Amino acid sequence: MGNTDAGAPVIEVRSVWKIFGSRADEALEAIRRDNLTKTDVLKQFGCVVGVADASFAVGQGEIFCIMGLSGSGKSTLVRHINRLIEPTSGEIFLNGRDVNVLNDEELRQLRAETIGMVFQNMALLPHRTVRDNVGFALELRGVDSYQRSIAADETIAKVDLTGYGDRYPSELSGGMQQRVGLARALAADPDILLMDEPFSALDPLIRRQLQDEFLALSRVMHKTTLFITHDLDEAIRMGSRIAIMKDGVIVQIGTPEDIVTKPADEYVSDFVAGISRLKLVFAHTVMQPLEAYKANGGNGLDETLCPVADPETDLNALVDLSVDSEHPILIKDDGNTVGVVTKTALLRGIQGEP
């Protein structure tokens, strides 16, 4: 999906803290000084820690998922990006611009032109038609109604709602309403999309469908996306990288494969325990080097009979190869054999145990 790591990050969050309560500053100082826990802060200062020392960066066109259970601070964190919530401490840069120093008018301009946001409960305006909802951000910027409706109709077509422009949100199904929500976020052609559990309120089939459509759309539009979810499956489907949050702290950031194969702690490993690894784990993770294989008594290897795969083949494809042959699979990179995947290693790899 393009230049994920190249160039300057579009969104950069540097050690953001959010503490709710009237004595937030005192509490933060005490936390830094004495290493207080969340419960201590609540007891001593009556303050709730929403986000604790969160840092991450999102590259151009990347879909970055923030995954956590309810109350983990993920929704709070994403609202810092467009400053719907002010951080207690820390910095946020969008395209290298510090969001915290913007004045009201600059902030409104940023929200209207650079950021689109989609909400879990849609939050559409019930008294406006779909077209007027979609054109809302443009209307706020003073775009005249002719241009607005052209732009809105284009975006409505992108989310497959052509013909529904003159309907009211209440006439649409939940899935369609969220398409309107997405269209509203896309209408002003923002660089950044913030999606706060956009598909959580939908039933599984519709959710799946919208996920696929969003991925397809994203491949074309290439928006830098921050995607909040409480569903690890969804995070893995959508995200090029995933941050896992717990109690306001980002526990781990990594690609889906990293998270599944190298969970940072017990919390994450509990989470990924039930996840299918077939499409997440690749040959280079389960293979053993050729020398090690030979040293362990695998000398009678007839390389001509073995099926061959490259290191980026996922376990699902390796299973297909393995089923057709009695021999281990050779992993070749640019024609050089770099490793061997035996049936045992493959099965263990699917299981997630070494």
Partner 1 sequence: MTDTPADAELGLETGDTTPSLQERKLVSEFAGDKADYYGDTFVHLQQNRLSATHVNRSALLAGPFWGARRGNWTHFWIALLLDVSGLMLMARGLFADPEKSGEFNLLWGIAVFICGRLLTARFADQLYYRQYQSWRIDRAVNAGVSASRIQVGLALILALGPMLVYRATQIAPTLRECKRMWRAMGKGDEVSVGDRFNCWVIGEVPIGKNIQQPVAGGINDFIDWMTITFVTFFDAITIGIRGVLNLLELIFVGTPWPVMAFMLVLVAWRTAGKNVAIFTGLALFYLGMFGFWQKSMSTLSLVGAATLICVLLGVPIGIWCAKSPRIYAFIRPVLDIMQTLPSFVYLIPAIAFFGVGKPPGILATVIFALPPMVRLTVLGITQVPESVKEAALAFGATPRQLLWKVELPLAVTSIMTGINQTIMMSLSMVVVAALIAAKGLGEDVLFALQHVEHGLGLLAGAAIALCAMIMDRIVQGARKPDNS
Specify the 3-state DSSP secondary structure of 328.
coil
Distances (CA, A) of 135 to 111, 120, 147, 199: 14, 19, 9, 22
By CB under 8 A, is residue 110 in contact with partner 1?
A: yes
Applying CB under 8 A, the span of 57-65, 105-113, 146-154, 335-343 interacting with partner 1 comes to 105-113
CA distance 213 to 218: 8
Select from 12, 139, 153, 197 the one that contacts partner 1 (CB under 8 A).
139
DSSP-assigned beta bridge partners for residue 244: 67, 252
Site string for partner 1, 285-324 (x = CB under 8 A): ----------------------------------------
The two most distant CA atoms of the chain are separated, in Å, by: 77
Binding piece for partner 1, criterion CB under 8 A, among 111-119, 197-205, 305-313, 345-353: 111-119
* Footprint of partner 1 on 50-89 (CB under 8 A): 82, 84
Dihedral angle, C-alpha 113, 115, 120, 126, nearest 10 °:
-10
- DSSP three-state, residue 286: helix
Backbone region of residue 172 per phi and psi (left: phi > 0; alpha: psi in -120 to 50; beta: other values): beta
CB of 196 to partner 1, least distance (A): 9
Q: Site for partner 1 (CB under 8 A): which residue of 96, 126, 274, 300?
A: 126
Query: What is the token pair recorded at 310?
Result: 């490259």
CB of 257 to partner 1, least distance (A): 33
Residues 163-222 contacting partner 1, CB under 8 A: 184, 188, 194
> What crossing angle do the helices spanning 145-158 and 174-187 adopt, rounded to 10°?
130
Q: How far is the CB of 22 from partner 1 (least distance, A)?
A: 16
- Of 43 and 97, which has the nearer Cβ to partner 1? 97
Q: Closest by alpha carbon to 293, among 340, 246, 331?
A: 340
Identify which of residues 192 and 290 has a Cβ nearer to partner 1 in the complex.
Answer: 192
- Residue 108 interacts with partner 1 (CB under 8 A)? yes
Backbone angles phi, psi at 17, to 5 degrees: -120, 140
Report how far residue 56's alpha carbon sits from residue 58's, in angstroms, rounded to the nearest whole number: 7
Under the binding rule (CB under 8 A), the answer on residue 123 touching partner 1 is yes
The yes or no reply on residue 112 touching partner 1 (CB under 8 A) is yes
Pick from 56, 119, 271, 282 the residue near partner 1 by CB under 8 A.
119
Q: Which residues bind partner 1 (CB under 8 A)?
A: 82, 84, 107-113, 115-117, 119, 121, 123-127, 136-137, 139-141, 184, 188, 194
